[in-house]
Amino acid sequence: MSALVEELNFKDGLIPAVIVAADGQVLTLCYMDAEALHKTLETGLVHVFRRSRGRLMLKGATSGHVQRVREVRVDCEGNSLLFVVEQEVAACHVGYRTCYYRRYEADADRLEICEERVFDPEDVYGT
């Protein structure tokens, strides 16, 4: 892991991580601190630093929709990561496989849902 960490630039202690399914679909963008990266590499499951909660979390800990790491890539400047993963069920907490389930329609100046929901959040997280 030290070879990887030496290449990284953790701005303000965090580094953005793009999470992509093995089929190429972008699932989400999250942030990692050094501890989240270490846990991810140690376990093979994506861990993130949740800025809104100020803590480390296993992605999918509540839902069981974990992300199994298949490949790790580093960008040319060492300031972001890309993880290729096998996604269990869905990445998005509102029920979609990807967090990018809305498309901007410029001619109508609106956001439109362009993906199908794959689970009901109330069934997984309650109310």
pLDDT digits 0-9 by tens, 34-64: 999 999 999 999 999 998 888 999 999 999 9
Checking if the pLDDT of 82 tops 80, the result is yes
Q: Reduced to 3 states, what is the DSSP secondary structure of residue 44?
A: coil
pTM of the model: 0.92
Is residue 113 in a domain? no
Is residue 111 in a domain? no
The pLDDT confidence band at residue 127, using thresholds 50, 70 and 90, is low
DSSP 8-state secondary structure symbol assigned to residue 48: E
CATH of the domain at 22: 3.10.20.810
Cα separation, 125 vs 93, whole angstroms: 9
The pLDDT confidence band at residue 3, using thresholds 50, 70 and 90, is confident
Is residue 96 in a domain? no
Is residue 33 in a domain? yes
